[in-house]
Amino acid sequence: MKILPRTAAIGAAIEGIRLAEVDDSIFAEIRNAFPDVGWQVRSPRQATASLTRYLDIFDRFLVLVGLSSLLVGGIGVSNAASAYVNERERSVTTFRSLGATGRRVMVHFLVQIMLLGIVGTLFGLVLCAVSTLVVLPFLGSYL
């Protein structure tokens, strides 16, 4: 009689059975056959449930990190726009002395800030796309 290692015995016991279609009685038989081992027997459904839970927690963490970074970025952009307008105080006084209304000055600087925002966004998108195309082949072997 040939004695199989435990993993081979388990493999022989469930050979030909599709794990997705296995009922819990087979897993109970395996647990009873090997009661004092240091591992657990789980169905794919049970294994994916715990994995799904951890992925859900990780997903919530990433959402929190993303929202935090958006908040910090928004505060930074607000400070930069405020500094830009304060820096241009002489231009504002010049516009006002030439007869421009407060609304006209606000629209002028708002358009400038929006154009800078659009250019910055496009630059960031292009930089992100190029860096992804450059880095992905190197990281592809690790994923």
Q: How confident is the model at residue 126 (pLDDT cuts 50, 70, 90)?
A: very high
Euclidean distance between CA atoms 70 and 40, whole angstroms: 43
Written as one string, the DSSP assignment of 47-107 is HHHHHHHHHHHHHHHHHHHHHHHHHHHHHHHHHHHHHHHHHTHHHHHHHHHTT--HHHHHH
List, for residues 56-108, the tens digit of each pLDDT value: 999 999 999 999 999 999 999 899 888 988 898 898 889 889 999 989 999 99
Amino acid identity at 103: R
pLDDT at 8: 47
Q: Is the pTM of this model over 0.75?
A: no
pLDDT at 4: 42
Alpha carbon 83 to chain centroid, angstroms: 32
The answer, yes or no, to whether residue 10 has pLDDT greater than 70, is: no
pLDDT at 1: 41
Residue 39 DSSP class: S
Q: How confident is the model at residue 33 (pLDDT cuts 50, 70, 90)?
A: confident
